[in-house]
Amino acid sequence: MAKRRLLTGDRPTGPGHLGHYVGSWENRVRLQDEYECFFIVADFHVLTTAHEDTVPIRDNVRELVLDYLSVGIDPTKSTIYLQSLVPEVAEIFLLFTMFVSVPRVQRIPTLKDVMRDLEIEVAPLGLLSYPVLQSADILMVKGEAVPVGKDQLSHVELTREIARRFNSLYGPVLPEPEAIVGRVPTLPGTDGKAKMSKSLGNAVFLSDDERTVERKVMGMFTDPTRVHVTDPGHVRGNPVFAYHDAFNPDRAEVNDLKRRYRAGQVGDVDVKWSLGQALNDFLTPIRDRRRGFASETGLVDRIIREGSDRARSEAAKTLAEMKRAMQLDYYGSAAVQSPGAAGQSGRSREGRETR
Ligand code: TRP
**Directed axis angle between helix 251-262 and helix 268-294, to 10°?**
150
φ, ψ dihedrals at 133, nearest 5°: -65, -40
Nearest to 288 by CA among 213, 207, 203: 207
* Cβ of 8 below 6 Å from ligand 1: yes
Residues 289 and 303 in one domain: no
Q: Domain of 38: which CATH number?
A: 3.40.50.620
Q: Length of the chain, please? A: 355
Residues 11 and 62 in one domain: yes
* Cβ of 45 below 6 Å from ligand 1: yes
Tell whether 196 is covered by a domain: no
- Residues 6 or more apart from 263 whose CB is under 8 A from it? 232
Domain count, the chain: 2
Residues 304 and 177 in one domain: yes
- Residues 6 or more apart from 330 whose CB is under 8 A from it? none
Among protein residues, the one with the nearest Cα to ligand 1's atom 2 is: 10
Written as one string, the DSSP assignment of 45-57 is HHTTT--S--HHH
Q: Is 10 helix (H, G, I), strand (E, B) or coil?
A: strand
Residues 252 and 181 in one domain: no
Given this model, what pLDDT does residue 36 score?
97
Which amino acid is present at 252?
A
Tell whether 29 is covered by a domain: yes
Q: Is 207 helix (H, G, I), strand (E, B) or coil?
A: coil
φ, ψ dihedrals at 21, nearest 5°: -60, -55
Per-residue pLDDT of the chain (355 residues; tens, 9 = 90+): 789 999 999 999 989 999 999 989 999 999 999 999 999 999 999 999 989 899 999 999 999 999 999 999 999 999 999 999 999 999 999 999 999 999 999 999 999 999 998 899 999 999 999 999 999 999 999 999 999 988 899 999 999 999 999 999 999 999 999 999 988 878 999 999 989 988 889 999 999 999 999 999 999 999 999 888 899 999 999 999 999 999 999 999 999 999 999 999 999 999 999 999 999 999 999 999 999 999 999 999 999 999 999 999 999 999 999 999 999 988 876 544 555 544 444 444 444 443 3
Given this model, what pLDDT does residue 331 score?
82
Tell whether 246 is covered by a domain: yes
Is the CB of residue 202 less than 8 Å from the CB of residue 193?
Answer: yes
What whole-number distance in Å separates Cα of residue 132 and Cα of residue 301? Answer: 28
Residues 102 and 50 in one domain: yes
CA of 270 to the centre of ligand 1 (A): 37
* H or E stretch covering 163: helix 153-170
What whole-number distance in Å separates Cα of residue 28 and Cα of residue 207? Answer: 19
Among protein residues, the one with the nearest Cα to ligand 1's atom 5 is: 10
Nearest-atom number in ligand 1 for the CA of 11 is 5
Residues 177 and 220 in one domain: no
Tell whether 345 is covered by a domain: yes
Residues 144 and 82 in one domain: yes
How crowded is the C-beta side of 16, counted as CA atoms within 13 Å?
Answer: 28
State which of 294, 312, 330 marks the end of a domain: 294
Q: Which of 134, 135, 160, 195 to mutate to test the pocket of ligand 1 (most atoms within 8 A of CB)?
A: 134
Query: Which spans in 32-121 are helix H?
Result: 43-46, 55-71, 88-97, 102-106, 109-117
Nearest-atom number in ligand 1 for the CA of 83 is 9
* Cβ of 216 below 6 Å from ligand 1: no
Given this model, what pLDDT does residue 214 score?
97
Given this model, what pLDDT does residue 149 score?
86
Residues 252 and 113 in one domain: no
* Cβ of 180 below 6 Å from ligand 1: no
* H or E stretch covering 233: none
For the sheet with 145-148, list strands across it: 79-82, 36-41, 5-10, 145-148, 178-181
Residues 87 and 170 in one domain: yes
Q: Which of 5, 7, 10, 31 to mutate to test the pocket of ligand 1 (most atoms within 8 A of CB)?
A: 10
Given this model, what pLDDT does residue 150 score?
87
Nearest-atom number in ligand 1 for the CA of 133 is 9
Q: Domain of 290: which CATH number?
A: 1.10.240.10
Given this model, what pLDDT does residue 244 score?
97
CA of 163 to the centre of ligand 1 (A): 17
- Residues 6 or more apart from 72 whose CB is under 8 A from it? 29, 289
Tell whether 194 is covered by a domain: no
State how beta strands 79-82 and 36-41 pair.
Answer: parallel
Say what the pTM is: 0.88
Domain span at residue 228 reads: 210-294
State which of 274, 294, 314 marks the end of a domain: 294
